[in-house]
Amino acid sequence: MSNKTHNFLPTEHHMTLDNGLRVHLLPRPEFHQIVGVVGVDYGARDNSFVQNDQLVTQPAGIAHFVEHRLFAQPDHDAFTRLSELGAMANAFTTHSRTSYYVSTGVDNWAPLQELLTFTQEPYFDLPSVQREQEIITQEIDMYEDDINSRIYRMILSRLYPNDPLGADIAGTAASVHQITPEQLNLAFEAFYQPQNMDVVITGAFDEQKMLAFIKQTPAGQRKSQQTVTKITPKRQPIVTDTLEVALPVSRNKVVLGQRWELDFNTLARRDILKMAIVGSLAIDLVFGDFSPTYMTWYNDGLIDDNFSAEFDAERQFAYVTIVAETAEPEEVVEKVSAVLTGLVSEVDKLQTSFELVKNGMLSRLINKLNELEEIAIRFEGQTFDEATLQDEIATVQALNFADMLAILKTIPASSIASIIIRSDMIELC
Amino acid sequence: MFTKEIQQGVFVHVLPTQQFATTHIAVNFTQQLNKKTLNERVLAGNMLETASKKYDSQTKLTQVLNEMMGAAFGVEVFKIGQLHTIRLQLNLVHDSFVTTGKSLLNEGFDFLNEVINAPMGNFDEGFTPVIFDRQKEVALDEIAGLKEDKPFYALRQALDTYYGPSIQATPAFGSAKGLANVTAQTAWQIWQESVAKDRIDIVVVGDVDQVQVTQLAQMMKFTARDNALSAYYHQPLLPRVNQIKVVDDVVQARLVLGYALPAAADEYFIATVFNGIFGSLANSRLLLNVREKSGLVYGISSDYNPYTDLLLVEAGVDQANLSLTVKKVNAELQRLQQVLVPAEELTIAKELIKNTYTMTLDQPLYLADRVYNQQLLQRIMSDDDYLRRIDAVTATQIRDFAQKATWQLHYEMVGGIADEQ
């Protein structure tokens, strides 16, 4: 490659500070912004853990609640402060991670100081915790009104019965009303420890100065305490009966899911990353424009542009989800299930399209090099052994069809879960 | 920035930069909003996105894009006030990622030329009927599906109420009734007319040479055209607030309030700061006072469109809190009309707006869009100019501007059994 790529793919640095905090500096010269992320290896699924040999179980939605209230400081609100400092700020909680991020001008590091301070110093007072219960209840109502997020939870609860993965990340109205300042402090002490956090900085900055800067913040200075052991819920068998529900959708929808049983405890994490990439590529191949089977479904009107197939992998879980709108739900369930069940042989038929689909994936990843937030937020810490967007790109570039097929053959996939959603809307004239 | 009018009404704009891993090309076809062409243009755009004479199936089109190292191609339609635009966008990875040694810029322009000048179909039949009918079905399904996105659907209903019979009420993506009447022939004719008569702006952002881009653009052989465009839409004030209450299948009620607020051309920056403080910034008064302090709503924001004089407030709110929320929103507007914004709050708002602007300098799509907007609307200015003019806005200007707002629309969507329509 020519020297010009240097602008897009500069050298990245990963280091661990004395207190256990992991720092990742991902420079992007010529940009006008710096994005900083504090990522905590703690999510909605982690509400049971072992602390001092004791099993602790907290109310559903606690990780998300911590995220909402952590901005509160004794003398100010960090979110307002960040705005006042001229930065954009946001935070979000997934099933496996909590992330706080700020975006600021290249010469304005004060928002980074605030980020690396408020995430280390909780202040959970009763009146605001009580008020937050109401705000989050409203948020849960909003997600209830969103049919797509509802059906997503439904399919996950079929794939992962009795597992928080199938529930709302925000919890339920009842569970958030059980959350107290003491519960929040317990969660913070358990998981917001330097050795359980990653600081990611990307954009235009001097690396030496940035490292020195991070070291003098509370995140860099804070002493680490004993952490807890996360408990991964035991996998239950998938519920394979097709669930039929009636919802106010304009067209019938079909949702299918399949668990991929990647062993996060024994496999090398970069191998898991490769498997996740292979999974996404395989799904792109068989449910894409180069698959004659898929195009027949599309051209016959069995499915339309509202067909989506995705592969997701996070800490300790990986799955495929497919959503389609159709007039013939049973037929879609049957045909899509057959493709997923016979994925290896389906992929094997599409060798000639491999490079094209790989180009598509590469291009989507290369485009993300333009987006500082994507570079920072995609980073999943230890889950994929500190792989960055650059590492993802290199992994895809190196992949050939034979590798892909060989890897695919080693992955144990589950049987299929499915849901049919029929419209209960009044017929409109 | 490099700009050249290669034919009367046909412009090439190039923003050379080595910052990005990609090259972004946008070809914009702009005309005055028109009931007789809008729906045809929507379906023509969908056809261009799907196939062309040379790439005569969706699979072939996808294949050629993937051969161009996974180029991303899309067609979108949008409105700027009274203008309607069809935008073709092609996004290419930087040539240094190409393993074949070819230049993607040349291939990219060849591709766009095919799609624009040789669509799939012919003069007699129009767009190839089999594909056209399918695309029409898909577009109608999509419009029907929008009813599921309650915040969006509520906003659409509110805008319909506000604009009434004016063409301004029709969304950029058309209406179910309008789309249903489009035929493969009319869509074809309107597309040919658009290519011949629309103002065209070709915008390229990336590590490119302006001479090469100009040559490639000339290869598309667009002829001279003459069109005077005006983005501004004004409607007379209603004698009283237009009230509408809709029952739909929602747990959380939706509230949309509309205010007529005319802005002179030199008031653009005042309007931006005013709207930021009122309800569009992360620490806006609506968010802080109506959401955070009163806990009345989950989400609330304002939006101001300088081309249609319309200030909108949207909120997701518990049904029981609707009337109190309306009071609070109007009280916040009244406070801006009567009391000068404190210096510190004003400074913070300006910093946030400037920061948002600076962030967009890192986004090729925004850069291309800004070049298009500035050139089309003749509001050309440098980044420094923009930042300086935001800084120059005063508290008095904001108060005086706010005083021009007149409440015109009060829309509520509440829970219950959906209305039959």
Is residue B408 within a helix (H) or strand (E), and if so which, with residue range?
strand B406-415
Give me the pLDDT at residue A305, please.
84
Q: Do A2 and B96 touch (CB under 8 A)?
A: yes
B66: nearest CB among A30, A83, A360: A360
Over range B346-358, report the average pLDDT.
91
- Neighbour count for residue B367 (Cβ, 10 Å): 21
Residue B302 gets the label, from left (phi > 0), alpha (psi -120 to 50) or beta, of beta
A131 chain-B contacts, CB cut-off 8 A: 295
B94: nearest CB among A8, A103, A249: A8
Give me the pLDDT at residue A292, please.
93
**Residues 170..229 of B with a Cβ closer than 8 Å to A: which?**
207
Given a cut of 80, whether residue A366 has pLDDT beyond it is yes
Give me the pLDDT at residue A429, please.
35
Q: C-alpha B404: how far from its chain's center?
A: 25
Q: Do A362 and B19 touch (CB under 8 A)?
A: no
B354 chain-A contacts, CB cut-off 8 A: 86
| Chain B nearest CA to A266, separation (Å) | 35
| Chain A nearest CA to B69, separation (Å) | 5
What rounded mean pLDDT belongs to chain A? 93
**Residues 4..33 of B with a Cβ closer than 8 Å to A: which?**
17-22
Q: Do A370 and B362 touch (CB under 8 A)?
A: yes
| Of the candidate ranges A199-203, A385-389, B310-314, the one whose mean pLDDT is the lowest | A385-389
Q: C-alpha B398: how far from its chain's center?
A: 25
Q: Do B358 and A33 touch (CB under 8 A)?
A: yes
CATH level 3 topology of B242-415: Cytochrome Bc1 Complex; Chain A, domain 1 (3.30.830)
**Residues 251..280 of B with a Cβ closer than 8 Å to A: which?**
251-252
A365 chain-B contacts, CB cut-off 8 A: none
Distance between CA atoms of residues A307 and B115, nearest Å:
25
A79 chain-B contacts, CB cut-off 8 A: 282-283
Give me the pLDDT at residue A425, please.
64
Over range A401-411, report the average pLDDT.
95
- Neighbour count for residue B386 (Cβ, 10 Å): 19
Q: Residue with structure tokens 């969908």? A: B46
Q: Do A357 and B66 touch (CB under 8 A)?
A: yes
Asked if the domains B2-218 and B242-415 are classified in one and the same CATH topology, the answer is yes
Over range A75-103, report the average pLDDT.
93
pLDDT, tens digit, for every residue of B275-318?
999 999 988 999 999 887 777 888 899 999 999 999 999 999 98
Selected residue with higher pLDDT from B145 and B136: B136
In A157-315, the DSSP E strands lie at 197-203, 229-230, 243-247, 253-260, 308-314
In A380-429, the DSSP E strands lie at 413-423
Give me the pLDDT at residue A5, please.
47
| Chain B nearest CA to A223, separation (Å) | 33
Give me the pLDDT at residue A248, please.
84
Which residue in A has a C-alpha nearest to residue B22's C-alpha? A367
pLDDT-based confidence at residue B166 (cuts at 50, 70, 90): very high
Over range A40-57, report the average pLDDT.
95
- Cβ atoms of A155 and A253 within 8 Å: the answer is no
Which residue in A has a C-alpha nearest to residue B57's C-alpha? A289
Give me the pLDDT at residue A10, please.
84
B318 chain-A contacts, CB cut-off 8 A: 138
Q: At what angle do helices B395-402 and B322-338 cross, to 10 degrees?
A: 130
Residues 6+ apart with CB under 8 A from A87: A102, A103, A104, A108, A111, A114, B355
**Residues 342..361 of B with a Cβ closer than 8 Å to A: which?**
348, 351-352, 354-356, 358-359, 361
Which residue in A has a C-alpha nearest to residue B130's C-alpha? A299
CATH 3.40.50.300 fits B2-218, yes or no: no
Query: Where are chain B's structural domains?
Result: 2-218, 242-415
Selected residue with higher pLDDT from B351 and B93: B93
| Of the candidate ranges A2-6, B153-157, B263-267, the one whose mean pLDDT is the lowest | A2-6
Selected residue with higher pLDDT from B103 and A258: A258
Residues 6+ apart with CB under 8 A from A367: B21, B22, B72, B91, B93
Give me the pLDDT at residue A83, please.
85
Superfamily of domain A2-230 in CATH is: Metalloenzyme, LuxS/M16 peptidase-like (3.30.830.10)
pLDDT, tens digit, for every residue of B172-218?
999 999 999 999 999 999 999 999 999 999 999 999 999 999 999 99
Q: Do B19 and A357 touch (CB under 8 A)?
A: no
CB of B70 within 8 Å of a chain A CB? The answer is yes
CA distances from A271 to A90, A379, A384, A410, B321 (A): 31, 16, 8, 12, 53
Q: Do A145 and B288 touch (CB under 8 A)?
A: no
Q: Do A356 and B19 touch (CB under 8 A)?
A: no
B298: nearest CB among A135, A359, A429: A135
Which amino acid, one-letter code, is at A354?
A: F
What rounded mean pLDDT belongs to chain B? 94
Which amino acid, one-letter code, is at B71?
A: A
Q: Do B364 and A144 touch (CB under 8 A)?
A: no
B70 chain-A contacts, CB cut-off 8 A: 359-364
- Cβ atoms of B67 and A355 within 8 Å: the answer is no
**Residues 112..141 of B with a Cβ closer than 8 Å to A: which?**
134, 137-138, 141
Q: Do A359 and B70 touch (CB under 8 A)?
A: yes
Distance between CA atoms of residues B320 and B338, nearest Å:
29
pLDDT, tens digit, for every residue of B18-35?
999 999 999 999 999 999
pLDDT-based confidence at residue B96 (cuts at 50, 70, 90): confident
Q: Do A359 and B69 touch (CB under 8 A)?
A: yes
Q: Extract long-range pairs of A72-78: CB within 8 Å, 24+ residues apart.
A: A72/A123, A72/A124, A72/A125, A72/A128, A73/A118, A73/A121, A73/A123, A74/A123, A78/A114, A78/A117, A78/A118
Nearest to A98 by CA among A136, A48, A132, A63: A63
Give me the pLDDT at residue A6, please.
56
A4: nearest CB among B96, B352, B354: B96
| ipTM score | 0.78
Residues 6+ apart with CB under 8 A from A271: none
Q: Do B144 and A32 touch (CB under 8 A)?
A: no
Q: Do B420 and A426 touch (CB under 8 A)?
A: yes
Nearest to A368 by CA among A386, A385, A393: A393
Strands A243-247 and A54-57: unpaired
Given a cut of 70, whether residue B161 has pLDDT beyond it is yes
A369: nearest CB among B21, B91, B351: B21
Percent helix, percent strand, percent coil in chain B, to nearest 5: 45, 25, 30
B207 chain-A contacts, CB cut-off 8 A: 4
Given a cut of 60, whether residue B353 has pLDDT beyond it is yes
The CATH number that domain A243-422 falls under is 3.30.830.10
Which amino acid, one-letter code, is at B416?
A: G
pLDDT-based confidence at residue A2 (cuts at 50, 70, 90): very low
B22: nearest CB among A144, A288, A366: A366
Is residue B407 within a helix (H) or strand (E), and if so which, with residue range?
strand B406-415
pLDDT-based confidence at residue A428 (cuts at 50, 70, 90): very low
Rounded percentage of chain B residues whose pLDDT exceeds 70: 99
How many helices (DSSP H) and strands (DSSP E) are in chain B?
15, 13
- Neighbour count for residue A342 (Cβ, 10 Å): 12
CA distances from B46 to A345, B72, B115 (A): 34, 15, 12
| Chain B nearest CA to A199, separation (Å) | 21
Nearest to B5 by CA among B205, B232, B226: B226
The CATH 3.30.830.10 portion of chain A extends over 2-230, 243-422
Over range A288-300, report the average pLDDT.
92
CA distances from B90 to B114, B319, B361 (A): 13, 45, 19
Both tokens of residue A406? 């060989």
pLDDT-based confidence at residue B418 (cuts at 50, 70, 90): low
Over range A219-229, report the average pLDDT.
91
Residues 6+ apart with CB under 8 A from A197: A21, A22, A38, A39, A40, A41, A119, A219
CB of B103 within 8 Å of a chain A CB? The answer is no
| Of the candidate ranges A143-147, B105-109, B229-233, B382-386, the one whose mean pLDDT is the lowest | A143-147
Q: Sign (positive/negative) of CA torsion B28, B32, B38, B41?
A: negative
Cα-based torsion angle of the residue sequence A380, A382, A383, A388 in order, rounded to the nearest 10 degrees: 40
Both tokens of residue B409? 């629309």
Given a cut of 60, whether residue B420 has pLDDT beyond it is no
Over range A167-178, report the average pLDDT.
95
Over range A228-249, report the average pLDDT.
91
